[in-house]
Amino acid sequence: MVDKIKVGILGASGYTGADLVRLAAEHPHMELSVLTANSHAGKRFGDVYPHLGAINLPDLIKIEDANWADLDVIFCGLPHGTTQKIVASLPKHVKVIDLSADFRLRDVTTYKQWYGHEHFAPELQKNAVYGLPEHYRANIKTANLVACPGCYPTAALLMLIPLMQAKLIDKNSIIIDAKSGLTGAGRGLKQNTLFAEAGEGMSVYGVAGHRHAPEIEQELSAALGANVMVSFTPHLIPMSRGEFVSTYANFADGATISDIRECLNNAYKDEPFIRLLAKGAGIGTQYVRGSNQCLLSVEEDRVPGRALLFSTLDNLVKGSSGQAIQNMNIMFGFEETLGLTQQPMFP
C-alpha cells in the first residue's frame, strides 16, 4: 500500500467535483495533482468555490492541457456522453472512477437505447465494475475502471438488493417514488432549477423515462436472477442536497415485515455507512446531510401484504463523491472509511 496517491479530477468545477475536493482534503493518502474545468481554466479553485479557498490546490486547467503520466487515479465528473472517449485515451496504468452514467449499463445496446448514441468505448465496458461497495466489494478491489452508481439507484438498491436476493418481495409490485435536492440537476443554468421556479414547490420529471430506471432494473435483475421491471418516478424538491426514496412493494408469499428487517440487519450489520433504523424511528434527509451514510427504514402498510421501504442519503456524498472515494479506498487497499467519517450536519 502506497502512502500517497496522485489524484486527478475531471470536471472539478461541478458540484460533485467540489465535494470530491472537500472530502479529499481530509484524506491522508490523496494528493490532488490535476483539476480540470474547461469553462474555468486558468482560475484558482478557491475563486470558483470560495469555501474551499484555504486548501492548497493546483489551478484549474483544460482537459487537453493535463499531464496524466504521473497520476494513480482519475475521478471523472464530466457530463454523460463525454466520458467514454476520454477514458479510452487515458494511460493504461491509471485507475479510473467514473461518476457519470457512461459505464454503468453493462449492455451497450441498452446504453444506446437510453442515452441516444453508440457506446464509444465498448471494449472498456466489458471490464467496468459497478461501484456499489456493499455489494461489489470484491470486484472493486481488483478493478481498473469503476462506474459509480447514480444517486437514485444507490438509495434504492441498498434497500432492495438484499430483499430481492432473499426473494422477500414480489418483483412485479415495486414502485419507487424518489425525491432529490436541486444539486442532482448539476450546476449548469436550467430554468426548472432557478430559485423562482423551484424554491417553493415540488415537481416531477423524467416520467416513465428517467435513465436511472434501467440501472436499477439491471442490478435488481442480477440480484434475483430474473428480469425485473420497476415503476420509477423522480421529483425535484426545494433544497440544495439530499435524497429520499420511498419504495412500495408487496410481500412475496409467506414473507413478513419481520423477515425484511432481519434480512436487512444481516446484510448491513457490519457495514460502516448503512444503518437500519428501529421501528417507528424518524427518517429524513436532514439526518444524513454532508455524510457518507445511508439510512434505511421499513414499516408494514395498513394495506394488507404491502411493505413501506424508506431510504435516504446525501446525493453528493454517498450518492456520488463520497461513494467514489469509498471505491478508491477499496481499489488501493486503504481502510474503507478513510476521509469519509464526517458525521451528518444537523440542523
H/E element, 155 = helix 151-165
Closest to 160 measured CA to CA, from 310, 47, 304, 333: 310
DSSP 8-class letter at 150: P
pLDDT single digits (tens) 207-236: 999 999 999 999 999 999 999 999 999 999
Q: What digits encode the pLDDT tens for the residues 139-157?
A: 999 999 999 999 999 999 9
Query: Comparing C-alpha atoms, which of 74, 10, 58, 65 is closest to residue 37?
Result: 10
Over the stretch 254-311, which tens digit does the pLDDT of each residue have?
Answer: 999 999 999 999 999 999 999 999 999 999 999 999 999 999 999 999 999 999 999 9
CATH code assigned at 169: 3.30.360.10
For residue 134, is it within any domain? yes
What is the dihedral sign for C-alpha 63, 64, 70, 72? Answer: positive
In the Cβ-directed half-sphere of 342, how many Cα atoms lie within 13 Å?
Answer: 21
Same domain, 181 and 304: yes
Closest residue by Cα to residue 286 from 345, 219, 220? 345
Considering the entire predicted model, what is its pTM? 0.95
- Structural domains in the chain (count): 2
The residue type found at 84 is Q
151 is catalytic: yes
- 245 shares its domain with 304: yes
Q: Choose the catalytic residue: 76, 148, 151, 263.
A: 151
Does residue 13 share a domain with residue 140?
yes
Strands 30-36 and 5-10: parallel
196 and 116 fall within a common domain: no
Cβ-contact 253, 171 below 8 angstroms: no
> What per-residue string of b and e applies to 24-34 under the rule 16 or more CB within 10 Å gives b?
beebebbebbb
Same domain as 231, residue 202:
yes
Domain residues for the domain of 186 are 152-315
